[in-house]
Amino acid sequence: MGMFDNLDNQPSKQTPTPQKKGGGDIDWKAELLSWKGALGVVVLLGVGWLIFGGSDPDRNDVVNYSNSNVPIGVSDTLNEEAVNRLGVDLTDNLDPQLIPVVVAEAMKEVTEAGVSEADFIPSLVSKISNKIRDISTIDLNADGLADPILVMPASASSDQEFIQFSIKVPDPAEVSELPPGSDQEAWRDIAENKSIEIMTASATKNAQDELSMQSAPNPQMYNSSPAPYYHYSSPGLGTILLTSMMMSALFSPPMGYGGYYGGPPRNVSTVQSQRSGATSSMASSNPSQNTVKNSKGQSVGQSNFKKVPPKSLNQVKTAQFRSKSNAATTNRSGGFGSAKKSGSSAVQKPRVSAPRRTMPRRRSGGFGRRKR
């Protein structure tokens, strides 16, 4: 008898194998006791721990709200997606169609005032900026006060017989407060390095010795591509300028003059209520896809607009979004009560003037506090 024989002469015990009960069912109890079943249980426990996070106290804090941490959704607050999709269009704030007429009126008034040739361009840019100030509700930082208007002349050479004006406003992403009007160096730095060019305007002598005015809006600030040109020819203006011998001063101006609006800062609402009176007598400019031509047949196009940095553009969009939301809230009637009235603590923007040969008067304020 071999070493593996049953010494007690008892029948050998066979390892049970899973049997299908009733001809088709598996013995799951036996299957679970096998090594395959044990492995499956371990896997299921691991998946469950990953899903439910075990006993992570941070997760319990997130789902267990109390009176102090219940989230609340508030309407009319900043919506990042809406801001990103919002296009900038300043047409309602300053219509580029009005600018050619404004420039023509400013030229006529300065010429008829009989200023000297040396004072012609400084007086002209000051007059243009003041006239634009009277109709502009551009408020890029949404503080309720119209932004200052900066007008800078540029002309390549006198033989081209045109002058172009760059019309700008301070960049709210770069300028938090404005200098006083007497600090011309600070204003020049803003105009040249910390401003947004919203449009250009030009005056061109054509073959008939007439002056044709043109404006061209910045496509980024007027949400248009390509942006149209706006033309206006002022009857008799060219003759006035030729008679007064101002053409040489107009088409070859001394560089370095910038015009900044004068007078007290104006509320956007005030400009809106008075603008219709200022524009009612203005003639209409004609939109065109073509530029004006000088007496030599050369086209006078817009300047190459400097691209507005994303940071600045997003800040303008955010200000517009908040301004529109606030206006919508203020205009609502009924409800739980009246909208709160803003106090008189609004930050004043400065009163500024064009450079003069006399000592400048002291001016006030800025976007924020007055510089000392």
Please state the rounded mean pLDDT for residues 6-28. Answer: 52
Residues 318-328: pLDDT tens digits?
Answer: 888 877 766 66
How does 30-67 read in b/e, with b if 16+ C-beta sit within 10 Å? eeeeeeeeeeeeeeeeeeeeeeeeeeeeeeeeeeeeee
**Is pLDDT of 28 > 80?**
no
Whether the CB-CB separation of 289 and 161 falls below 8 Å is answered with no
Structural domain includes residue 43: no
**Is pLDDT of 66 > 60?**
yes
Structural domain includes residue 11: no
pTM more than 0.75? no
- Cβ atoms within 10 A of the Cβ of 194, count? 16
CA 363 → CA 43, 190, 338, 370, distances in Å?
Answer: 78, 17, 36, 9
More confident residue, 249 or 334: 249
- Tell me whether the omega of the peptide bond preceding residue 18 falls within 30 degrees of 0, making it cis: no
Q: What DSSP character marks residue 111?
A: H
Q: Which of 4-8, 306-310, 313-317 bottoms out in mean pLDDT, i.e. has the lowest?
A: 4-8
Task: Give the span between the Cα atoms of 197 and 189, in whole angstroms.
Answer: 14
Structural domain includes residue 113: yes
Please state the rounded mean pLDDT for residues 29-46. Answer: 62
Residues 118-177: pLDDT tens digits?
Answer: 888 889 999 999 999 999 999 998 889 999 999 998 765 666 788 889 999 999 999 988
Structural domain includes residue 70: no
Structural domain includes residue 167: yes
pLDDT at 345: 41
pLDDT at 293: 84
How confident is residue 4, by pLDDT bands cut at 50, 70 and 90?
A: very low
Please state the rounded mean pLDDT for residues 77-90. Answer: 78
Mean pLDDT of the chain: 74
Structural domain includes residue 132: yes
**Distance in angstroms between the alpha carbons of the first and the last residue of the chain:** 117
* Structure token pair of residue 264: 């007290």
pLDDT at 356: 43
pLDDT at 36: 62
How confident is residue 243, by pLDDT bands cut at 50, 70 and 90?
A: confident
pLDDT at 157: 60
Structural domain includes residue 72: no
Structural domain includes residue 179: yes
Domain boundaries, position 277: 93-318
Please state the rounded mean pLDDT for residues 358-371. Answer: 43
Q: For the chain, how many structural domains are there in total?
A: 1
Q: Which of 194-203, 213-222, 297-306 bottoms out in mean pLDDT, i.e. has the lowest?
A: 297-306
- Cβ atoms within 10 A of the Cβ of 89, count? 13
Task: Give the span between the Cα atoms of 283 and 227, in whole angstroms.
Answer: 21
Three-state DSSP class for residue 309:
coil
